[in-house]
Amino acid sequence: MFRGRRRAPFEGAMLGIFHVTLTELLALHGGPGAIARLLEQAGLPAGTRFRIDTRYPDTDAERLLATAAQVLGLDAAALHRAYAAHAGAWALRVFPSFFELAPDSREFLRSQPRFAGLLDAGAQGAGPDPLPTGAPGPIEIETPAPDALRIRWRASPGLLALYRELLRWVVRHYRDVADVRMQVNGSGTGMVAIYDLSWIRFAGDTRRHERFETTAPDESPVPPAA
């Protein structure tokens, strides 16, 4: 269920930016043969090469992420942190204007649909077709307060905690301070995660919002990858 309407099972697709940066991480830290082991254990053909301008099913990304943790000998949380740092540095190098356009982490995250639209405009359709015009997309953003955001993201279960770590990376990059909470609704494929972000301090602002906690626990755990 999403927005109170019955929908067919969600079949999301991610641009190959994720796949390219994940395999780069494996090549850097996994030693010789790490990418070959990743592809083999994930059930993909040997020599598979990913493109950043191509969509791939969420289920492939979920399987690659879980397999990468095994290949590198990391638990999921450690892999998410390592991936967020690597992918963030990659994005800064390849798409610097996205970061230059946003004065702080809140504005950057609020601009995600616009950035995604620019990237998706030239994408090839290896994965599922985009949603019909007018249908709710996989990500929706609300602005409940000047120092808060609520982000809803529909994706395969094994990807939800990774996105939370990417949100945290963006906040750290701008040297802001924010509380990032996640709540997961639904079950099976196409789960909806709600990320509530509350900013305590912006790097360029001396104001401090004492009503927010900086160490709040997560509202619910993410189920393990299928």
pLDDT tens-digit readout, 77-90: 999 999 999 999 99
Q: Which pLDDT value is given to residue 180? A: 97
Q: How confident is the model at residue 38 (pLDDT cuts 50, 70, 90)?
A: very high
Averaged over 143-162, what is the pLDDT? Answer: 93
Q: Is the pLDDT of residue 224 over 60?
A: no
Q: Which pLDDT value is given to residue 62? A: 94
Instruction: Count CB neighbours of 105 within 10 A.
Output: 26
Q: Which pLDDT value is given to residue 122? A: 60
CA torsion sign for 104, 105, 109, 114 is: positive
Which tokens is 90 given? 């990659």
Averaged over 141-167, what is the pLDDT? Answer: 94
> What's the predicted TM-score (pTM) here?
0.80
Rounded CA separation 33/121 (Å) = 34
Strands (E), 96-186: 139-145, 148-155, 177-185
Helix, strand, coil percent content, the chain, rounded in steps of 5 = 40, 20, 40
Q: Is the pLDDT of residue 218 over 50?
A: no
CATH number of 13-128+137-201, picked from 3.30.70.20, 3.90.1720.10, 3.90.1520.10, 3.10.450.100: 3.90.1520.10
Q: Which pLDDT value is given to residue 25? A: 97
Contacts 24+ apart (CB under 8 A), 49-53: 50/16, 50/19, 50/20, 50/23, 51/16, 51/20, 51/124, 52/15, 52/16, 52/17, 52/20, 53/15, 53/16, 53/122, 53/123, 53/124
Q: Which pLDDT value is given to residue 194? A: 96
Which tokens is 76 given? 């999921």
Instruction: Count CB neighbours of 96 within 10 A.
Output: 10
Q: Is the pLDDT of residue 129 over 60?
A: no
Averaged over 32-58, what is the pLDDT? Answer: 94
**Domain chopping of the chain, boundaries:** 13-128+137-201
In single-letter form, the type of residue at position 54 comes to T
Question: Above pLDDT 90, what percent of the chain?
Answer: 63
**Cβ distance 182 to 195 under 8 Å?**
yes
pLDDT tens-digit readout, 104-124: 999 999 999 888 888 877 665
Q: Which pLDDT value is given to residue 120? A: 75
Give the C-alpha distances (Å, rounded to integers) separating 109 from 13, 59, 97, 166, 220: 20, 24, 14, 10, 22
pLDDT tens-digit readout, 173-211: 999 999 999 999 876 655 789 999 999 999 987 444 433
